[in-house]
Structures are given as C-alpha cells and as structure tokens.
C-alpha cells in the first residue's frame, strides 16, 4: 500500500503473505527507513535478517551510493558471505522527468555486484511483486532446510534498507 505522506521512523514492522511458485510464505518485513545514522541498529538488523531489499531513489543519485555502503556492510557483518539473499530496488520509476540514476549505471552495478536490480513505483504498484518473489526464491535456495510455510521470528525476516 502506497502512503502519499510517508514519515519515516527508525523502523517499521510489517507482515506480508505471498505465494511464490505455488507455495505460501509469510514475510516479516522490517523497514529501517534508511536510518544510516543508527549503525548499531543496522548491525542488529543485518545479523538477524534472512534477506535484504536495498532501496534507493531513481531521483537521487546519492541514495545509490548509500545502497552500496549498506551492501558492503551486509557482506562484512555476514562474514563475506556473498550469497546472502539481496535484491536492489530503484524506486520512483513513475517520476521519469526527475530521474538522476540512469539505466546504464544500474546495468553496470548489477553486473559488478552480481545482484538483481528492479525499478519500481510504489505509487503505481509497478514491479513490486517481482521484487518479493525474487527475494523469497533466493531465501529458499539459501536456507533450503527451513520451511517456507511456517511463521518465523527473526531470523527469517526480510529487511528493507
């Protein structure tokens, strides 16, 4: 659900049911609202999260640099495990006239980082489902022994940073 007037806090918690490959999953989502200044909280989120959606604004090039910093922090905290489930998302696709991050930049980073990138619009509900499907599929491959149908407390959640 898109909120026109979003007032970010340190964190918000959501739950979302999703069917992926005809199998239900319950995602526990912790939205850290890009609280980079709370680095000690980020470490707790990174240690406890099972998958990560790193979000930047297509209308703010600086936000892409913050995503790179978070990506590096995840790998550092998770012991260099480059197979941790991560999806990178550029938001505000509907604001094409304000776009600062160009497609070729995203393609270059996707190749360099070996991570899936999506361009989305929460306001228009463009490509949102694909992001969560990709992340759940990665989590199922990375954690094959965990039941994807049982409700899990952290770890088991998806962290949106």
Domain assignment present for residue 111? The answer is yes
**What is the dihedral angle through the alpha carbons of 123, 126, 129, 133, rounded to the nearest 10 degrees?**
-130
Q: What pLDDT shows up at residue 151?
A: 40
Percent of the chain with pLDDT over 90: 58
What is the rounded average pLDDT of the residues 134-161?
66
| Structure confidence by residue, pLDDT tens digits, 10-19 | 568 889 899 9
- Alpha carbon 58 to its chain's center: 15
The residue with tokens 């319950």 is 26
Domain assignment present for residue 149? The answer is no
Confirm if 91 and 55 have CB atoms less than 8 A apart. yes
Domain assignment present for residue 151? The answer is no
Q: Model pTM greater than 0.95?
A: no
Domain assignment present for residue 147? The answer is no
Domain assignment present for residue 94? The answer is yes
Domain assignment present for residue 38? The answer is yes
Domain assignment present for residue 121? The answer is yes
pLDDT band at 153; cut points 50, 70, 90: very low
**Number of domains making up the chain:** 1
**For residue 26, is the peptide bond before it cis, meaning its omega torsion is within 30 degrees of 0?**
no
The residue with tokens 């995503």 is 67
Confirm if 67 and 54 have CB atoms less than 8 A apart. yes
Task: State the Cα–Cα distance between residues 101 and 99, nearest whole angstrom.
Answer: 6
Plot region of 63 (φ>0 → left; ψ -120 to 50 → alpha; else → beta): alpha
Task: State the Cα–Cα distance between residues 31 and 14, nearest whole angstrom.
Answer: 8
Q: Which CATH number belongs to the domain containing residue 56 in this structure?
A: 3.40.50.300
Q: What pLDDT shows up at residue 43?
A: 84
| Structure confidence by residue, pLDDT tens digits, 95-109 | 999 999 999 999 999
**Is 116 in a helix, a strand, or coil?**
coil
| Structure confidence by residue, pLDDT tens digits, 44-93 | 888 888 999 999 999 999 999 999 998 999 999 988 767 899 999 999 99
Which range of residues forms the domain containing residue 134? 11-142
């Amino acid at each position: 659900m898109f909120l026109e007037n979003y007032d970010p806090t340190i964190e918000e918690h959501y739950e979302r049911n999703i069917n992926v490959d005809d199998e239900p999953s319950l995602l526990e989502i912790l939205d850290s609202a890009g609280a980079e200044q709370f680095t000690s909280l980020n470490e707790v989120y990174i240690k406890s999260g099972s998958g990560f959606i790193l979000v930047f604004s297509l209308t703010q090039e600086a936000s892409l640099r913050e995503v790179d910093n978070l990506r590096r922090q995840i790998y550092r905290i998770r012991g260099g495990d480059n197979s941790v489930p991560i999806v990178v998302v550029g938001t505000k696709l509907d604001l094409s006239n304000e776009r600062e991050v160009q497609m070729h930049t995203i393609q270059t980073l996707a190749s360099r980082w070996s991570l899936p990138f999506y361009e989305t619009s929460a306001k228009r509900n463009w490509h949102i489902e694909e992001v969560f499907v990709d992340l759940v599929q990665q989590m199922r491959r990375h954690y094959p022994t965990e039941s994807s149908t049982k409700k899990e407390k952290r770890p088991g959640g998806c962290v949106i940073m």
